[in-house]
Amino acid sequence: MTEGTFDNLPSQPKAPNPRLLELNAKAKSPDGLTPHEEGERRGLFAHPDQPEAQRLLQKEYLSSLGLGEMSDKERERLRAIRAENYARRQREEPQIEPTRRTEEDRDMSGDQAQARSHELQLLYTQAKLAALKEHWQGDPKTIIDHMIDDMPDDVTVYTMDTLARMPKDEPKPLELYLLSHARTLPDFTDGKPEGALSVMESMRCLRDEVRTKKFLLGIREAIANLDASGVDVIRMCNAGTGAIPILAIYAALCSDKVKCDALELNPNAAQIAHEVVKEFGLQDRIHVRQADATKFEPDEPLDFLVSETMHSGLTAEPIVQILSNLQPHVKDSGITLPSRVNIQASLVSLADYASPNGKFVKIYGDMHPLTDQDWQEVASYSPGDNLDEISITIPTGDKPKGNYMVGITSTVDVGTQHIAPYQSLITMPQYVRDTKSDPRIFTLTGNAQDPINVKYRPGETLEGKAA
Ligand SMILES: C[S@@+](CC[C@H](N)C(=O)[O-])C[C@H]1O[C@@H](n2cnc3c(N)ncnc32)[C@H](O)[C@@H]1O
């Protein structure tokens, strides 16, 4: 992977994304509506040719977020405009039935359907940005600090009775605020180099709110400590910065002393990250580089190293390899976040996992069953530790007979901030599997049985890893 820099790019005018306009005209949602109609139905879109409707739609959206008020009279007026528009559309385009699916929709493969849903998301995001932009006037640090205060400290647990109240997978205020600083909204359907996340995936990390909040609070605390230590410059590296380089940007907003190399493997994500940094006016202090952080050599010793390139149990993502490469460049007086990852394991009864009375948590789009487990700590990792293999032995002797799965999770310390199992995707239990979607079931007889051994290398998935 070549390393690139984006400082010399020609500046692009701020114009609507042509792809967006094209999609607006052509694309249909699974309900057979154009994205514009779909957005309208969800109350997100302004009618470009109806200023009154546009103003009322924005009011409706802001009031739904508790950021504004809408009178009954205004609501009634918007309802009447919607009814008029709907009736007019039926007259002008009677072929568009709200529930009709097009031939094209029926024929779409999984990938195409996913691309379509990403495209719709892009359109909703743009509409939300249009509605919210004027509410974000002022000092970015103050705005982000308010958003951090509003972010939850823990995940919400839902039961079968409350599942309907689970939030939709929609961008959260912090993601929208940062995205409002991109020159054009990204094409969410981009490919990615091996080992990297796609643009969309890296942006969605911000919806993992407990994770994001604890990393930001950990960064604020670390910068305060480094500032107080009297250094003139805080040399920082953010390895795996994503398309929305929030961790680097927030660090730079916390202290003028921060100078940061923000590394990203995915060139499209690096490009967007650079644009966002530039819009915040931080391009002289945050240098976005397309680079592989497992190989990158910083020019000078580091005071501060931050990398959120991990999945639970240190599986699937390369944080261990990245920190093995970069931790030797951190000064003795420096700080690395995360500061510790403890890996935990447990046998989880299949009945408990699949129980219809179970509890669930949702991290952005994905719902996860929550079981009441005694997690046993099986390994402890600090940045730079030599960790070639994670080898876990799980005793079976004390378990009643039945079917079990092997769950692996972790806790993550970010300075004094602690992320517990289930609070984030990076601490969400994963299960040893035979294939991607097939968990391995271990049948215990209740008699003396050998322990279960699980071995994997950091960064690998848990497929086929039990002996
Ligand atoms: C979990 S995201 C973090 C996004 C963002 N920093 C945040 O915390 O909200 C991790 C990012 O690291 C990138 N990445 C993965 N491996 C990398 C590597 N070897 N070098 C640089 N970046 C990498 C991924 O493409 C992804 O964008």
Question: What tokens were used for 447?
Answer: 């008699």
In this structure, what DSSP letter does residue 320 have?
Answer: H
Nearest CA to ligand 1 atom 4: 242
CATH 3.40.50.150: which residues of the chain? Answer: 173-337
Nearest CA to ligand 1 atom 11: 240
Compute CA distances 99 → 29, 30, 34, 90, 96, whole Å: 10, 9, 12, 13, 9
Q: What distance in angstroms lies between residue 1's CA and the mean position of ligand 1's atoms?
A: 15
Q: What distance in angstroms lies between residue 155's CA and the mean position of ligand 1's atoms?
A: 23
Among 175, 190, 241, 286, name the best residue to mutate to test ligand 1's pocket (greatest count of ligand atoms within 8 A of Cβ). Answer: 241
* Contact criterion met (CB below 8 Å) for 433 and 439: yes
**Nearest-atom index, ligand 1, CA of 309:** 10
At 99, which amino acid appears?
Answer: T
As for ligand 1, residues whose beta carbon falls within 6 Å of it are 195-197, 202, 205-206, 239-242, 246-247, 263-266, 269, 292-294, 308-309, 318, 322
At 264, which amino acid appears?
Answer: E
Side-chain-side CA neighbours of residue 10 (13 Å): 2
Q: What distance in angstroms lies between residue 378's CA and the mean position of ligand 1's atoms?
A: 26
Among 202, 266, 319, 326, name the best residue to mutate to test ligand 1's pocket (greatest count of ligand atoms within 8 A of Cβ). Answer: 202
Burial (CB < 10 A; 0-12, 13-18, 19+), residue 356, is exposed
pLDDT tens, N- to C-terminus, the chain (467 residues): 233 333 333 333 334 444 444 444 444 444 455 545 555 555 445 455 677 877 787 777 677 666 678 899 998 888 788 777 766 766 665 544 443 334 444 444 555 555 556 666 666 677 777 777 778 888 999 999 999 999 999 999 988 778 777 877 778 889 989 988 887 776 656 677 888 998 888 998 999 999 999 999 999 999 999 999 999 999 999 999 999 999 999 999 999 999 999 999 999 999 999 999 999 999 999 999 999 999 999 999 999 999 999 999 999 899 999 999 999 999 999 999 999 999 999 998 888 877 656 788 989 878 888 888 889 999 999 999 999 999 999 988 778 888 888 999 999 999 999 999 999 999 999 999 887 667 888 888 877 778 899 999 999 888 777 66
Q: Is the dihedral of CA 8, 9, 10, 12 positive or negative?
A: negative
Q: What distance in angstroms lies between residue 141's CA and the mean position of ligand 1's atoms?
A: 23
Q: What distance in angstroms lies between residue 307's CA and the mean position of ligand 1's atoms?
A: 8
The verdict on domain 173-337 having CATH code 3.40.50.150 is yes
What pTM, to 2 d.p., does this model score? 0.81
- pLDDT tens digits along 264-318: 999 999 999 999 999 999 999 999 999 999 999 999 999 999 999 999 999 989 9
Burial (CB < 10 A; 0-12, 13-18, 19+), residue 309, is buried
